[in-house]
Amino acid sequence: MKILIAEDDPVSQKLLEKIARHEGYDPVVVNNGKNAWDQVKKEKVDMVITDWMMPEMDGLQLCRKIRQTDLPRYVYVILLTAEDQVEDAVAVFSAGIFHQKYAMMMEKGEKPRLTVEKRALKKSIRSRIT
């Protein structure tokens, strides 16, 4: 399965690529949404893992393009973000991305949030790579 990773942070790029390869996937890595869109149009991509905030085209814009274009196959999208407001969840849903955690939290009236553990993990990885 070919996975497209669209991430502008070099540490996150390396981490996602390493995980994808370890799990047996064939990752293609790009550093912005525009390059990701070009790859989706020219290669058979089964899944896109994209950061929300990127230069040239963000992850939501990328997802909207994928959902609005009649591609020959369905492309799954995973959006990575530290955004944690209800408005952010609404934007995610409106772009055609279903986020189970946001949906469950919104049903319970909770506010989505980034966990402390995720922040600590990212800091630890960054210190090892740089």
pLDDT at 57: 87
pLDDT at 103: 42
pLDDT at 54: 86
Q: Which residues of the chain have a pLDDT value below 70?
A: 81-130
pLDDT at 105: 44
Q: Where does 21-110 show beta strands of DSSP type E?
A: 26-30, 47-51, 76-80
Which long-range contacts does 25-30 make (Cβ < 8 Å, 24+ apart)? 25/1, 26/1, 26/2, 27/2, 27/3, 28/2, 28/3, 28/4, 29/5, 30/4, 30/5, 30/6
List the domains of the chain with CATH numbers: 2-129 (3.40.50.2300)
pLDDT at 93: 56
CB 101 within 8 A of CB 110: no
